Amino acid sequence: MNNDEILQALDQQFSLNKKSAKVVVVGLGKTGLSVAYYLRRLGLQFAIVDSRKKPPYNDELLAQMPDVAVFTGGFEPAVFDVATHIIVSPGVSMEEPLIEQAIAQGVRPLSDIDLFACSVSAPVVAITGSNGKSTVTTMLGSMAKAAGKRVAVGGNLGTPALDLLAEQAEVYILELSSFQLERTSQLNAVAATVLNISADHMDRYASMAAYAEQKHKIFAGNGVMLLNMDCPHVAAMQNADRELLTFGFHDAADYTVIDTAEGESLAFQGRAILAVNELLVAGVHNQANALAALALGSVIGLSEAAMCDALRHYKGLKHRVELVANIKGVSWVNDSKATNVGACVAALQGFKNTSVILIAGGDAKGADMSDLVPVLKEKVKMLLLIGKDGMLIKQAINDCIAVLEVHTLKKAVKKAAKIAQSGDTVLLSPACASLDQFADYKERGGVYSAEVMRLKE
């Protein structure tokens, strides 16, 4: 779509136009910056506010758009008073008092995903879930490339959605978080999925039902719904009026795993597609991820041969059940991306051995850590706790296994090295966010990997 077509769509959907609209962009992170570039390109009036004194992209914005009004260090009522529209970045709660007040007074809220949806004519695939969404998004992206498609991949993962528009792709694949979805109304993906629902962001949502409700918004529109039949929260989202595909290890699922004479195989409606042992990524959870990617790829017309070839070469993402080293028979695995309980459970269930030394802890985000108990009893021989909520986790699991509070990740690695024996796995899978001690999960995973490599040296 050209700029005139986009402006026409924005005016039609949101009364967002050059004549009367005054947009306030809340948050100058990666998403906020992408919104600023987009609005500037279309010639729309906007200002930016951020509660931080020096937001991450402040210098870049001022260098590229020195005439844009930027208000930092807090939210000023006067800025919101003149707004006609408000675009709130995912990291900012919609329950901020000035944001709630502005919306109550008639200011129109929208999201970067709404802007994207009004600006694209090529098919969009949308992926969300508590766990696995980055893996499925990148799996599907590699499948599309293998099939010879011009594909753009981003959203919550990597490149912001609006920045993808410059790629003029044949298909767009978006990973979307609950925070993005909660403020989005215009998305109409040709295929969309909620991979799973487990406790996450309970510090932002009143209940699991409220969290699941935001995830469900990915199914707006009339595209194909892909549901995980193994997750009750997701299976309950079924809509009889919509075209439906299913995946999982449930007998009735369209895409599942079957036994063949040669061993287990990914399959579609009983027909074997790819032997499980051809996957480079380990774990039952990655089999489920592959099934989801195959299903989504089928909707956008990717050939099965190309999709299988991509899966044979897919090595996974850093910080997601990533083997760092094998030292004296001990496997050291980095799963720092496991920022919630469900991700930690999935990682542990993927290990066949029952001699795991687990390093967990950080910011629990209000989650119920007692959900870890069954898999801890089954798989873990020692739990090493780090971070601010270590004591909360210890109390929640109620001495179901041996526990040591070591507080820091560096101490955890050193302690694990003393405990581990040949055949053991030391797994960093925190079940918590990282922001109590690290900039993000990538820094946490990097510190872990560096400490492990020091052991090897």
Which residues are known catalytic residues? 133, 156, 201
Side-chain-side CA neighbours of 336 within 13 Å: the count stands at 22
Distance from C-alpha of 25 to C-alpha of 48, rounded to nearest angstrom: 5
Give the residue carrying structure tokens 């997601």.
Answer: 320
> Which residue's structure tokens are 């050193």?
414
Nearby residues of 48 by Cβ (< 8 Å), 6 or more positions away: 24, 25, 26, 28, 32, 36, 61, 68, 69, 70, 71
Rounded to whole angstroms, the Cα distance separating 50 from 29 reads 9
Phi, psi of 227 (to 5 degrees): -120, 145
Query: Across the beta sheet with 191-194, what order do the strands follow?
Result: 151-155, 171-175, 124-128, 191-194, 224-228, 244-247, 255-260, 263-268, 271-275
At 384, is the secondary structure helix, strand, or coil? strand
C-alpha 125/C-alpha 135 separation (Å) is: 14
Asked if 336 and 361 count as a contact pair (C-beta separation under 8 A), the reply is no
168-180 burial: b if 16+ Cβ within 10 Å, else e: ebebbbbbbbbbb
What count of Cα atoms within 13 Å lies in the side-chain half-sphere of residue 90? 21
Asked if 257 and 267 count as a contact pair (C-beta separation under 8 A), the reply is: yes
